[in-house]
Amino acid sequence: TVVADLDRVNPEGWNTTAAPTLRQPTDEVLYEVHVRDFSVADESCPPEQRGTYLGLVHAHDAAGGKPSSGLTHLKDLGVTAVHLLPIEDFTAGPKEYNWGYWTALFNVPESNYATSTADPLQPARELKQAIETLHANDIRVVMDVVYNHTSSTGEYSPFDQTVPFYYFRTAPDGSLLNDTGVGNTFADERPMARKYIVDSLKHWLQDYKVDGFRFDLLGTAQPETVRSICKELLPIRSDITLYGEPWTGGGPIHFPKGAQQGLRDWHAFADFGPD
């Protein structure tokens, strides 16, 4: 565990580079990106940057009959935002491949995507550098966030070690509920669990200047949680991009498709036609 002043790892231009803005949500052109996959096989990218946050912003023009790659390719495509598959710290060994949906810590950038894991601040430093460079090139950053479950519970969970039996949904006998299909479900109906999610989102929005969030298994969330997110985040960033999956991993759906109606600038996937 490291206590850090994140302002001390800000890249040059962090306080002067403006984030791209949207006039309306339908102007967004999203491009889904897995940080590792985006550059790990890009021969034009320096080897030490392949598969990392810095690999996202490596630029290479088309030449010799080969197409552009990296940041140049994103600009050529005309995207307005990259949707980063989960970069919240997830359970994976050094350089072990993972999609990122096995979240361990909500507020920490994944270290496997840094060029070095020896310095605990390197992931924060390089993620900020990547975001600043994307912003400088008029590309927004949307984080795929997984607040519906964690990779561990009990003695291996910082939540359970803080307040046992509070942060996860349980049956009357104390056993974990499995609304997500992966063994546990974050109990956002409980006030401090809900506050933790909102505070975490504000952390990424303010300390890392991300431009939006895509919520995994949003159907597990309580409507009050979604309303709280809108209430707290929209005054900070009026053009923030907010959307998610209105389904669960098998448990009851609390925020179904259509529940977003009436909520300012909140959007949901449609996995089938209109009801």
**Among all residues, which ones are annotated catalytic?**
216, 245
d(CA 73, CA 184) in angstroms, rounded, equals 39
The conformational region for residue 185 under phi > 0 = left, psi -120 to 50 = alpha, else beta, is: beta
Q: Which helix H or strand E contains 35, and what residues bound it? A: helix 35-39
Q: Which of 262, 197, 248, 249 is nearest to 218 (CA)?
A: 248
CB 167, CB 149: distance < 8 Å: no
Q: Which of 116, 118, 187 is nearest to 157 (CA)?
A: 187
Q: Strand locations in 69-201, DSSP E?
A: 69, 81-84, 140-145
**Cβ neighbours, 10 Å, residue 142:** 23
**Cβ neighbours, 10 Å, residue 40:** 15
Q: Which of 257, 185, 255 is nearest to 227 (CA)?
A: 255
